[in-house]
Amino acid sequence: MTRLISRISKLSFVVCSTLALATACFAQATPAASTTPDSKVEIYAGYGYFHPINADINEYAYHDIYNPNLTMSVSAFWNRYVGAQIEGAYFDGTSPRGALGQCRAGACSDRDPMVYTAEAGPVFRLPMGRWVPYAHLLGGGAKINGPILQKLTWGWGVTAGAGIDYVLPYWNNRFAIRPIEADWSHTEVDYGPSFNGGLEGGYGKIQAMKLSAGFVVRFGAPSVATPVMLGCTTQPATVYPGEPVVANASVMNLPAKRTPVYIWTTTGGRITPNDSAATVDTSGLAPGDYTVGGHLTYGKKAVDQATCTAPFTVKAFEPPTISCSAAATSVMSGGTVAITANGVSPQNRPLTYSYASSAGQISGAGPKATLSTAGLGATTVTVTCNIVDDLGKTATASTTVSVQRPPVPPPVQTQSLCTMSFTRDRARPARVDNEAKGCLDDVALTMNQRADAQLYVIGNASTDDKPQAAAERALNIREYLTREKGVDPARIYLRTGDSLDRTAQTVLVPTGATFAATGTQAFDEGAVKRHGAAYGPAVVPGKRVVRRRPVHKKAVVRKHK
């Protein structure tokens, strides 16, 4: 009991020391260090404690392991939350022969307890500034000796647990302290038949608590503070007096969850800000060049601020202009095309739009119209866009649209893929051999490329075949395609044919096509009696194939033909 208390005290000292160091580092860290860069790879090494819980073999109990011991792990993270971990542990007790009193019928433990583990599995973390709690679920192998005379033997085990890291605010965030990692472990080891009065052999089920604490080395490119960037644009960049100018700001490198503040200025006109945009009223401005300026800030540092400028020009009044465009230069007969007219009045006069077309029907008002080509054959339609202001000044522009006859789509056809012969193997006339596999590998590739298609398999049988041989061949082909090539069985349809030979055909039926069922019949799959394996293993020419029989029978060796 004294030794147990001493070992637990040592482990408690390690845990408390690391917690105290983490707390001291947290207290000294500056507020700016609260945003800690994530690591991509972490390597952990620590000191641990292995405590079996109600674990024994042949009524001999496994006892605690204190030192020497080592727990190490390597974790690689795909993102800031999920990764994969490999963990290895070594526990080797130092108790002398029978020191813990593990005795029964005068026999005591004659070796130190030893545990080796090698496990891997997913790891999950939740970064919270410098504190990073995590959890993992591991599985793998464990090599453990028994409490009496059982030798070190490999078994299997699983481990589940959680812990927490504190990232040190020094050395570029490369190191962390792991104050505690607590795991529950379940291991099973088969030492063989029990003998020698239960001192040797037996089956051990070891449930244990594992505790460890240590240090973590973190790898990965830490994030670097990037200055915020601001760009400004004006739309339109050239206006006439009285037309508004809209300035827009685009931001880059703005940290998440930060709200920027915008300030807008202009060298001419009256500006009305609207968050990341602003509007300039150019009424009364003389023709010339002007500038809109934007300023963004979300903090006091230089990297937290940015400015931008964008020019705009006020032009003197000019005669009206118009442009005319079609949303599509070509359309199938019966379709419609959107027509857009862009008219500009130099004096900002009211504008009236009108349209005309050389064929079809056009309707619309304002800058938008629609051309209908219903009833037209192959032709070219000219659309004319007109504009007039309140002073009677006009402008005209035109665009053309080519009308095409819709093509007639070709009918969808079925496609015969390949035919397989079942005449080579007289002993197994329904089994898929290597040559048939080559045919079916191409069929599987076609099915993967044509995900919308169905496959029909038609099995045939000769007059001297066994009953239902044709159906069995079709079933074996489907089994090979689904099990070995991953083809969805719902896309495969089985039938038997009228050809009096030992063959099977495959037919691809794309969407829209119809399978010609003449000369084929559906069958009840549940009524078909199967014989032997559906398909054989891959055989290298020239090598002997040994087919294993039960132990009480003599193995038969055949040469592959």
Which of 376, 404, 432 is the last residue in one of the domains? 404
How far is 448 from 487, CA to CA, in rounded Å? 8
Asked if the structure places residue 80 within a domain, the reply is yes
CA dihedral (54, 56, 62, 63) positive or negative: positive
How far is 289 from 304, CA to CA, in rounded Å? 30
Quick one: pLDDT band at residue 542, thresholds 50, 70, 90?
Answer: low
How would you classify the pairing of strands 492-497 and 520-521?
antiparallel
Q: Are 180 and 213 in contact (CB under 8 A)?
A: yes
My answer on whether 377 and 422 are in the same domain is no
86, containing H or E segment: strand 82-92
pLDDT, greater one: 37 or 186: 186
**pLDDT over 60 at 92, yes or no:** yes
The region of weakest confidence among 74-88, 109-123, 309-323 is 109-123
Helices (runs of H) and strands (runs of E) counted in the chain: 3, 35
How far is 344 from 351, CA to CA, in rounded Å? 8
My answer on whether 289 and 353 are in the same domain is no
Q: Are 400 and 383 in contact (CB under 8 A)?
A: yes
**pLDDT over 90 at 27, yes or no:** no
For residue 555, give both structure tokens: 């193995």
My answer on whether 379 and 471 are in the same domain is no
Asked if the structure places residue 208 within a domain, the reply is yes
409-424: pLDDT as tens digits? 788 899 999 999 999 8
My answer on whether 299 and 361 are in the same domain is no
Domain count, the chain: 4
Under DSSP, the state recorded for 218 is E
My answer on whether 400 and 419 are in the same domain is no
Asked if the structure places residue 224 within a domain, the reply is no
My answer on whether 64 and 141 are in the same domain is yes
Which of 404, 437, 457 is the last residue in one of the domains? 404
Give which of 174, 182, 166 is closest to 21, Cα–Cα.
Answer: 166
Peptide bond into 411 cis (omega under 30): no
CA dihedral (137, 139, 143, 149) positive or negative: positive
Which of 219, 253, 282 is the last residue in one of the domains? 219
For residue 327, give both structure tokens: 């949303």
Q: Are 109 and 59 in contact (CB under 8 A)?
A: no
* N- to C-terminal Cα separation, the chain: 73
7, containing H or E segment: helix 2-28
My answer on whether 108 and 79 are in the same domain is yes
Q: What is the mean pLDDT of residues 368-378?
A: 92
**pLDDT over 50 at 537, yes or no:** yes
Most trustworthy range by pLDDT among 42-51, 98-107, 310-319: 42-51
Asked if the structure places residue 409 within a domain, the reply is no
Under DSSP, the state recorded for 173 is G
Give which of 48, 91, 336, 38 is closest to 214, Cα–Cα.
Answer: 48
**pLDDT over 90 at 456, yes or no:** yes
Give which of 519, 536, 538 is closest to 429, Cα–Cα.
Answer: 536
Asked if the structure places residue 543 within a domain, the reply is yes
For residue 114, the domain's CATH number is 2.40.160.20
Q: What is the mean pLDDT of residues 254-278?
A: 89
Quick one: pLDDT band at residue 93, thresholds 50, 70, 90?
Answer: low
167-224: pLDDT as tens digits? 998 888 889 999 999 999 999 999 888 888 777 888 888 899 999 999 999 998 544 5
My answer on whether 378 and 235 are in the same domain is no
pLDDT score recorded for residue 549: 45
Asked if the structure places residue 105 within a domain, the reply is yes
Under DSSP, the state recorded for 128 is B
My answer on whether 299 and 365 are in the same domain is no
How would you classify the pairing of strands 454-459 and 492-497?
parallel
My answer on whether 365 and 472 are in the same domain is no
How would you classify the pairing of strands 305-314 and 238-239?
parallel
My answer on whether 237 and 339 are in the same domain is no
SS3 394: strand
Q: What is the mean pLDDT of residues 292-301?
A: 86
How far is 415 from 513, CA to CA, in rounded Å? 10
- In sequence order, the 6+-apart residues with CB closer than 8 A to the CB of 227 are 253, 302, 303, 306
My answer on whether 286 and 356 are in the same domain is no
Distances (CA, A) of 424 to 269, 344, 420: 93, 84, 11
- Which residue's entry shows tokens 């020019």? 311
Share of the chain above pLDDT 90, in %: 51
For residue 430, the domain's CATH number is 3.30.1330.60
Asked if the structure places residue 446 within a domain, the reply is yes
Asked if the structure places residue 61 within a domain, the reply is yes
For residue 260, the domain's CATH number is 2.60.40.10
How far is 46 from 18, CA to CA, in rounded Å? 11
CA dihedral (146, 152, 154, 158) positive or negative: positive
| Range of the structural domain that residue 377 is part of | 321-404
Give which of 97, 208, 205, 110 is closest to 161, Cα–Cα.
Answer: 208
pLDDT score recorded for residue 101: 42
For residue 389, the domain's CATH number is 2.60.40.1080
